[in-house]
Chain A
């Protein structure tokens, strides 16, 4: 493949005509001293994280009684947050794996950061099943290991156990894929720091660069296993949210017991994840001045995916309602009427307007290319998708089969604190990533530089080339 392309083709990297400029631009934040804004932002999110950790500590010390759960609503904020965070993670894998298989070059500059987002989101998600047990030190019982409890094995028929396998596989495979993608970039940073005489920092990056030297043999194998991993991650990401949806769909609770859940959850997950990608990318490209790599065209492509998946989600909402009515099941019909017009109707309408109506604004090119508008819409998408899980879980539970046990649910500040804390965890990890690791995949972006020019420092040095005598 030639590295010179017709000028009328779409340019995914602008104002860049040397490969070294890519390295320089992406390495700048890593080489620079941490600035005040970064320190302040990281300190603030660490503070929020500490608050969340205190709330988690209180939950574990005092027990699940500190939450607003009751006999009817036995599952609320924790599972909402869990599904929300797992969903956020899905966009990263979609960008890094599915778009790689589809040969979409625009993924090259956003895949690193969105995969980081995936991993941090799954870390946040993984926290909730553990703390919601109340006795997290027994979390080991999730795993099938020979034990002294009368050979008590885990229930392999339960979607909750499938979740254990799905989430842990998803986390470890995504993390490995992410790390593998960074190895060549670590080597770049290692050599760059070496040239600048920063030997200790160079040694640290060298440790994790695994001795990468960019040999053609290595690249050849590397490209193949990237494709293999993309091929493995694609069904994996679909399976993860399918299994998450089965936590609900395999039950007999009206409002949960629907066959549409797996595709609906997967579409919703990608939708919410892309919403978060928009939020993060708009800030990252501005703060790091990498608008040449994450261009308005990238943001437009993301917006289009948000509209597409948002419309799928909207269709799923309406299909659910139609089927609830069409099933002629009294309970189904009631629960869906209650979902819209019952005591939690407000949350339904927040969900519907944020997820279905809001992203339709992206039909307008002006809005797609306006970063302020996009940022606001992306925040609404995040809010809407959190409420989607809240709606599904709470409205289906709070009025159960026995009217005498109907009740309401109000979260306590401990639960809200844990939710806020999980955002603290997410952003702390993301800020650390943005400072110490390359936020854009340098080697993949270099393949998108068209019409490369000979840089000044690589002009012929000697008149007579030095040759062996």
Chain B
């Protein structure tokens, strides 16, 4: 699908924050911001909700703990019960370490894999770059052209960009 973006390119993350705030005052919602490193507290300006990855991680951890504990309990309790000095067949304290390790194993790998899935990042994916330098030192505010009402608004957005330190205002179309 063809999509066109109006881009404001900055060299300073603080300018990006100011420009975003000004755009919001005008009722313009940016599509996304691209930066070489995370800009803190940018989320409210872009209406990014707090990710639910932590909930997912908790669930994976629970699955890991259950898997570990169930595996050991089944093997020692049902498949091959052993009486060692009259001790219980399912010794909960000595199952703790393996249960713990399985919790971490599932939680950590689960959350990383989920991150790549929700982000739709995979090995060899062609990166959609607004500017080739955006992973180096350029900060880009992208605005979806479809959401701009007309030439007047384009002009006013460009003015906000340049007034707040953008060194370039341009357009980019993705096929």
Contacts and interface: CB of A to CB of B under 8 A. Distances in A.
B169 interface: yes
A20 B37 CA distance: 12
Nearest to A228: B57
B136 A212 contact: no
A190 interface: yes
Contacts of B158: 465, 467
Contact-size category for A: 35 or more
Nearest to A458: B11
Contacts of B124: 206-207, 211
B14 A169 contact: no
A141 to B, nearest CB: 14
Interface in B12-45: 12-14, 32-43
Interface in B114-133: 115-116, 118-130, 132-133
A172 B105 contact: yes
B119 A221 contact: yes
Contacts of A435: none
A194 interface: yes
A155 to B, nearest CB: 9
A243 B96 CA distance: 11
A2 interface: yes
B70 interface: no
B35 A153 contact: no
A229 B111 contact: yes
Contacts of B145: 468
A3 B161 CA distance: 19
Interface in A158-196: 159, 161-162, 165-166, 169, 172-173, 176-177, 180, 183-184, 187-188, 190-192, 194-195
B134 A225 contact: no
A128 B47 CA distance: 52
Contacts of B116: 210
Given A210-B116, A213-B135, A465 B162 contact: yes
B91 A157 contact: yes
A395 interface: no
A157 B171 CA distance: 64
B46 interface: yes
Given A20-B137, A156-B98, A165-B98, A3 B132 contact: no
Contact of B108 (A191, A206, A232, A465): A232
Interface in B121-175: 121-130, 132-138, 145, 151, 154-155, 158, 161-162, 166-171
Contacts of B104: 169, 173, 232, 235-236, 239
B168 A446 contact: no
Interface in B69-114: 71-72, 75-76, 79-80, 84, 91, 94-95, 97-98, 100-102, 104-105, 107-109, 111-112
Given A157-B91, A225-B115, A468-B6, A214 B14 contact: no
Interface in A391-443: 442-443
Contacts of A169: 101-102, 104-105
B168 A228 contact: no
A104 interface: no
Interface stretch (A110-118, A325-333, A447-455): A447-455
A208 B57 CA distance: 24
Contacts of B38: 219-220, 222-223, 443, 447
Contact of A211 (B33, B57, B126, B168): B126
Given A215-B33, A447-B37, A467 B169 contact: yes
B127 A172 contact: no
Residue among B41, B129, B151 with the most chain A CB within 10 A? B129
Contact of A224 (B41, B53, B112): B53
A232 B75 contact: no
Contacts of A460: 167-168
A190 B124 CA distance: 11
A217 B32 contact: yes
Contacts of B166: 465
A444 interface: yes
Interface of A: 1-4, 18-20, 23, 144, 151-153, 156-157, 159, 161-162, 165-166, 169, 172-173, 176-177, 180, 183-184, 187-188, 190-192, 194-195, 206-225, 228-229, 232-233, 235-236, 239, 243, 246, 442-444, 446-447, 452, 454-455, 458-462, 465-469
Given A169-B102, A213-B34, 11 more contacts: A1-B41, A3-B13, A19-B137, A156-B75, A221-B119, A223-B38, A229-B108, A235-B104, A442-B36, A461-B167, A461-B168
